[in-house]
Amino acid sequence: MASTIRRLVTVLVTAALGVSTAASTAQPATAATPWLSVTDGFASFTVPADDLRTTIGEVSSVVVEGTFGPGSTVAELGLVRSGSAWTSVIGPLPAGLYQYRLRGDDTRIVKDPTNPATVTSEPTWSTFLVPGDGARLLADVPAGQGGTIATVTHPGGSAAVWTPPGYDAHRRRPYPVLYLEHEEGGGYTDWLELGRARQILDNLAVQRRTEPMVVVLGDAADAPLARAVQQRYRVARDPAHRAVAGVSAAGVFAVQAALAHPGRFGYVGSFGGAFPDGRLHVDTAAVNAGTRLLRLYTGNVTDPAYNATYRLLRALDRAHVRHEFDGVNPDAGHNWTAWQQNLADFAPRLFRAGTDHRPSPGHLPLRHEFTTPAPGTTPTPWLTRESNGDTFVTVETGTQYAAAGHVTLWGNWAPGGSWVNVPMTREGDRWRVTVGPLQPWFYYYKFIVDLVSQKDTTNPAGVTTEPTWSTFLVPGARSRLLADVPAGTGGALHRLTYRSTVAGQDRTAYVWTPPGYDPARTQPYPVLYLQHGGGQNYTDWVEMGRAKQILDNQFRDGTLVPMVVVMGNGNVPDFTRELLDNIVPAARTRYHITTDPAGQALAGLSMGGFQTYDVLKTHPGEFAYIGTFSSGIGSPSTGADPTGYDPVAINNGTRLLRIYTGNVTDFAYPITMATMAAFDRIGIRYEFAGVTPGPHGWDTWQRNLIDFAPRLFRAAPATPPPAHAPR
């Protein structure tokens, strides 16, 4: 059992692999069963190995490259070979539109052939929508209520035109017109397939938040296109009823049009446009007279337009050009997630008076440029804090990877603490990336250099069982219990050496004693034996679980009964014997702890949780408090078999049996749920803590310890809890 759990943990932790920038694109095979399913915000990928083999040949690694990273950046989600398919689950994803494609063995790119959604300008990409309140404007309106999309062909090419609901070609007053331009290198279909422009415009129109207008998805500078639109549609030609907006380089064009050709467009929007530096030479009076609205947008510090926008805002101020700024979008960078929101903000401001001039709710001021230290001048990680509390981390490699072909940063910054790779960028002879926004919490990361894990050697924080990992803490209220307490106010951490008759060698445990620990006090201390998971050892609850910080803070808060916590080494073939014959006697000899079962607790994560269940089964009542994190009885392959568990002895001898699991991204979730169902059948009382929002990882288990420890060694409830009482 231990080897099974260790293998599963290792597979999940190391599954996210880097990819090469030099890639060949395969033609998708025909596949009938969908590779992707989306339920309650969880995206589940199940890619038949035979389908991939037919499409791109035999591969040893597969990743999904998608907009799953912080701020909707492109990141890589590793798939795990499970039987006849490559699988993984990520989520819950925030509501929105996501892009993705698959890569095998770094270089073989393939589109999901089971997904009919396409991206014309990027044929290997597919999209899917996660519905929800945050994506209401991206959803289709009821049939018959929206506007109409048509294609206009002109000598220079094609464009799409959206006409509003109830469009009247014979209306007395011509419709105002918005030219909406796409990203450089893309096409007009990007605004439909990635920008969801049709859905945004439809929803705004149905809600009567916009003036009836015609929207042209194409190049506003293309005179043949303008003539074709004017010939086919009832649109205004005067500047006061013409608007232009664009993303990235097209946003730069929009601003240049406003400054160089005052009055050509009455309304101008730049979505993430990195305006070039230089002194503005403008006719301020003409620009202000001819431009009713000049509104600028930028994403967070990961947006290449961030600093350029700051400089443009200052230049416009100096030139006394009237403009508006939507504020820094803290949640997105230089991508379609930001630009969708920009369109939703910009369109309602057009062709009407008295609109709100303030930034969008939650957007931030832009008071200075974002500047990272020069490469090689400071250790990483380098953290920067935004005014709303969001943090961004910058890391870089050393020069030893100057010749690498592809480098990514792997870390637990996907939803719930899942792991994805964020591509790094070469800067001289180093690789660097800025990741965020990150909420306050504890993060761990490593470099993936041409598929090989490497440590950030400038970060002194290390993990004994994972030598390539580094760690850092983002401070804040959310991570308060994971932070160090002031010097001299916390408990003490000791090393306990004991002889293992099971392993035939001396072993080590960490022991935490509370502040003010008194080995001579009359009453012995209660004790919690806290076990690690597969592939780990006694160091992990300290280095990764932040157990000392959690216990220190809870003691200071007054929520923790003074206790001793023993973190032993569970890597033995017979843990029950190791615990009862070796770890417990050694702890009792060294520390003033009780031998009364009512003062003893046992908890463990993953493999340690399975071991905890074994102790409960064979020695019911030996530990009055039991906690299991992401584990169960039996195994994922054999199912939950309660044979041998004595309900009467367990119920009589156990004051608390509390069960924890991560969400459906936790591979132990099914066996945990099956375990509770088995206990229900035979009448074992337990508490279910509810689903912890996270995967089979430390984000989940830290939260489990935070919940479990304060419940120990307190007066038993007057009546036993129901079999599956949630907290």
Whole-structure pTM value: 0.90
Q: What would the mean pLDDT of 536-546 be, rounded to a whole number?
A: 98
Q: What is the DSSP string of 92-119?
A: PPPSEEEEEEEEETTTEEE--TT-----
Same domain, 340 and 233: yes
In a domain, 359, yes or no: no
Same domain, 470 and 515: no
Averaged confidence pLDDT in the chain: 92
Domain range for 426: 382-480
Same domain, 122 and 149: no
CATH number of domain containing 448: 2.60.40.10
Q: What would the mean pLDDT of 78-107 be, rounded to a whole number?
A: 94
Of 661, 605, 666, 689, nearest in space to 91 by CA: 666
CATH number of domain containing 256: 3.40.50.1820
What pLDDT, on the 0 to 100 scale, is given for residue 355? Answer: 75
Between 636 and 496, the more confident residue is: 496
Confidence band of 716 (pLDDT split at 50, 70, 90): low
* CA dihedral sign of residues 191, 150, 130, 106: negative
In a domain, 369, yes or no: no
What pLDDT, on the 0 to 100 scale, is given for residue 52? Answer: 92
Residue ending a domain, among 131, 148, 176, is 131
In a domain, 451, yes or no: yes
Confidence band of 637 (pLDDT split at 50, 70, 90): low
In a domain, 364, yes or no: no
Residue ending a domain, among 131, 150, 173, is 131
Angle, vertex CA 156, rays to CA 155 and CA 159, nearest 5:
105
Is 651 strand, coil or helix?
Answer: helix
Same domain, 324 and 238: yes
Q: What is the DSSP string of 499-537?
A: EETTTTEEEEEEEEE-TT--TT-SSPBPEEEEE--TT--
CB atoms within 10 A of CB 121: 16
In a domain, 522, yes or no: yes
Is 300 strand, coil or helix?
Answer: coil
Same domain, 189 and 65: no
Same domain, 203 and 342: yes
Q: What would the mean pLDDT of 298-306 be, rounded to a whole number?
A: 96
What's phi and psi for 431, nearest 5 deg?
-120, 140
Same domain, 217 and 288: yes
As given in the structure block, the two tokens for residue 390 are 């969001």
Model confidence at 722: pLDDT above 70: no
Between 638 and 418, the more confident residue is: 418
Between 23 and 135, the more confident residue is: 135
Structurally, how many domains does the chain consist of? 4
Provide CB contacts within 8 A for 394, sequence distance 6+.
Answer: 372, 380, 381, 382, 383, 384, 432, 433, 434, 435
In a domain, 301, yes or no: yes
Same domain, 186 and 226: yes
Same domain, 342 and 236: yes
Same domain, 470 and 516: no
Q: What would the mean pLDDT of 656-684 be, rounded to a whole number?
A: 96
Buried b vs exposed e over 368-384: b needs ≥16 C-beta within 10 Å?
eebebeebeeeebbbee
| Nearest-angstrom CA–CA distance, 325 and 334 | 16
Question: Is residue 306 exposed (0-12), middle (13-18) or buried (19+ Cβ within 10 Å)?
Answer: buried
Residue ending a domain, among 480, 507, 530, is 480
Confidence band of 25 (pLDDT split at 50, 70, 90): low
In a domain, 716, yes or no: no
What pLDDT, on the 0 to 100 scale, is given for residue 715? Answer: 76
Taking only the tens place, the pLDDT of each residue in 554-611 is: 999 999 999 999 999 999 999 999 999 999 999 999 999 999 999 999 999 999 999 9
Same domain, 599 and 667: yes
Q: Is 79 in contact with 15 (CB distance < 8 Å)? A: yes
Q: What is the DSSP string of 185-197?
A: TS-TTHHHHTS-H
In a domain, 31, yes or no: yes
Taking only the tens place, the pLDDT of each residue in 327-341 is: 999 999 999 999 999
Same domain, 639 and 654: yes
As given in the structure block, the two tokens for residue 79 are 């798939």
